[in-house]
Amino acid sequence: MSEEKDYFESVGAVFSNKDLLRIETIPESDSRIIGREKQLTDLASELGSAMNGQKPNNVFIFGKPGVGKSMCSKYLLRQLVGRGADNGISIGVAYVDCMQNSTETQVIVTAGESINDREQTNVYFPSGGVSRSRLYDRLWDAFDQLYDVGIIILDEIDKLEDPNETLGTLSRAGESEKLDSCQLGLVGISNKARFEQRLGSEVKSSLTQNELVFPPYDAKELLEILKARQDAFTESVLDEDADHVFATAAKFAAKEYGDARQAIDLLRKAGEIAEREGAQTLQTGHVEQALDKAEEDKLVKMMQTQPVQSKYVMQAVALTARHAPTGEVVKSHDVYAKYEQLTEYENVDINTLSWRRVRDLLDELEDLDVLQQQRKGAGKGKGTYRAVYLTDSPETVLRACENVE
């Protein structure tokens, strides 16, 4: 009998602590938090009164995706809970992802479940069958029974369906005597700097929030962030080329508006590719493969929101570019010829659009940053033509189009 194959043999050869490269992981130490000392200090100043049993300020935190807003908030509030406990103050923190919980009822239920201990309070939060006002009463009751201070984090606060109603009720809980003893503060996190414009004057008056802005990371900071997580990998997989591997991932992420989340995710995916290949060391090629896959996934996600005809136009551009002689630009009329071929001969269920409509689709795709167009001269007396350039490689675009459902 042949020996049974161990399919898990390569697992663990690359990663020693993969969780360090998980986006949802909150660092245990601020040594892994790079370039955010000022923001942490400012946020601590806004919320610090809570550790003495006093009401913290309401705070809105703004910044582009992947700049550490959620991570820093969770890290600091975990520390705040500990400092409060040292002072004999019980602090309850409710985290609500408004992308997943956008209605007022969902916010109440999620916040209530986050801070509640049903055995102590005899309070529960069903998702249906109870009026909103009763749910609020239960939320206030749970906070009063369990905590001296409560803080509700509303992440992606701009996704709330009715921010005026939700924030108005939460911010006035103390003023309207809904809470007997617990002091309540709010932390709103958003990528949208203009979110506040959606709020009415009464809500703004009751919130009286302060605002913090998290700037994008630069390439140097992104590199430090990745190096601070290098113990996610086994020592043997990182050779003398490791610094170049980290620098490559940081450089790619820096191009995407200083997104640390993307940099960390890119490094994890590179490690997974190395693991699947059974590689002895992590190489820049693994990062490049991970980037290609990330770009492909992004294209698929974008194309799924577009008309099916846009997919055929993108395929036509990619196929024309792939077969074009080296150094020769892709011309829009050649793209249309390839598009006609795809729709007329290879897919009988798709109507072939006119050149004018395909030109409009090319303009729309340019607005989505998946391609660029430039008008060029064809030579003396020959007029002009449109040159079309893909943002990604033809192979990446074609794979993405194949994966669009």
Report the 3 state secondary structure along the chain: CCCCCCCCCCCCCCECCHHHHCCCCCCCCHHHCCCCHHHHHHHHHHHHHHHHCCCCCCEEEECCCCCCHHHHHHHHHHHHHHHHHHCCCCEEEEEEECCCCCCHHHHHHHHHHHHCCHHHHCCCCCCCCCCHHHHHHHHHHHHHHHCCEEEEEEECHHHCCCHHHHHHHHHCCCCCCCCCCCEEEEEEEECCCCHHHHCCHHHHHHHCCEEEECCCCCHHHHHHHHHCCHHHECHHHCCCCHHHHHHHHHHHHHHCCCCHHHHHHHHHHHHHHHHHHCCCCCCHHHHHHHHHHHHHHHHHHHHCCCCHHHHHHHHHHHHHHHHCCCCCCEEHHHHHHHHHHHHHHCCCCCCCCCHHHHHHHHHHHHHCCCEEEEEEECCCCCCEEEEEEECCCHHHHHHHHHHCC
Q: Is 112 annotated as belonging to a binding site?
A: no
Q: Is 71 annotated as belonging to a binding site?
A: yes
Q: Is 314 annotated as belonging to a binding site?
A: no
Q: Is 192 annotated as belonging to a binding site?
A: no
Q: Is 227 annotated as belonging to a binding site?
A: no
Q: Is 185 annotated as belonging to a binding site?
A: no
Binding residues for ATP, as ranges, are 67-71, 217, 229
Binding residues, as ranges, are 67-71, 217, 229
